[in-house]
Amino acid sequence: MSKSLISRLGFWLSGRAFEDFKRNLDYAEHGGALLLGVKGVGIICHGDSSPKAVKNAIRIAIDFVNNHVKERLEEGLAAFQTKGNER
């Protein structure tokens, strides 16, 4: 990266994009995955999750409850099922 001024400038300018990309791939940033098929909000975490991952899983569960994700999924699935039965 240090061969030319242009390549150094490009590396410097793209640094933030690489950091964002790395953060998007980090499992600990997301904490876990939504568990479907339960009557409530369930988040599955890896057994060896870091404290940061557990904290983010709890944060995501709270967001799901506050944004009524379960109810919205149920409504969407019911509408989808109704549409399928009309055919």
CB 64 within 8 A of CB 36: no
Q: Structural domain boundaries of the chain? A: 5-86
Within a 13 Å sphere around the CA of 23, how many CA atoms are in the beta-carbon half? 8
pTM of the model: 0.63
pLDDT tens, residue by residue, 31-63:
888 888 888 889 999 888 899 999 999 999 999
Give the pLDDT confidence score for residue 87 in this predicted structure.
Answer: 65
Q: How far apart are CA 52 and CA 27, in angstroms?
A: 10
Higher per-residue confidence, 46 vs 65: 65
